[in-house]
């Protein structure tokens, strides 16, 4: 996967996760959360034996990872 596609997926996932979790954040923060969420979601999906076969699946996994990251961040603060 190219870096640009990975960043676009991360941005979409970050925006969706922020919207779902009820947090208003800047574009750069959403991108960072989405990229971290994509990595976390990909690792967890791999551990569970799940995988994404298309773009929508990748966005879903990245969004779930980003939601998890936001949830953990909220609990740590």
pLDDT digits (tens, 9 = 90+) for 25-76: 888 888 899 999 999 999 999 999 988 889 999 999 999 999 999 999 889 9
- What does the pLDDT read at residue 25? 80
Cβ–Cβ < 8 Å for 40, 68:
yes
- What does the pLDDT read at residue 40? 93
- What does the pLDDT read at residue 47? 93
- What does the pLDDT read at residue 16? 93
- What does the pLDDT read at residue 44? 92
Cβ–Cβ < 8 Å for 29, 15:
no
Cβ–Cβ < 8 Å for 54, 24:
no
Per-residue pLDDT at 1 exceeds 80 = no
């Amino acid at each position: 996967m190219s870096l640009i596609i990975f960043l676009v997926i991360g941005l979409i996932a970050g925006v969706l996760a922020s919207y779902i979790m009820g947090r208003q954040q800047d574009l750069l923060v959403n991108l960072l959360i989405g990229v971290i969420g994509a990595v976390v979601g990909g690792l967890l999906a791999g551990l569970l034996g799940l995988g994404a076969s298309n773009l929508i699946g990748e966005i879903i996994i990245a969004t779930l990872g980003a939601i998890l990251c936001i949830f953990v961040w909220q609990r740590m603060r």
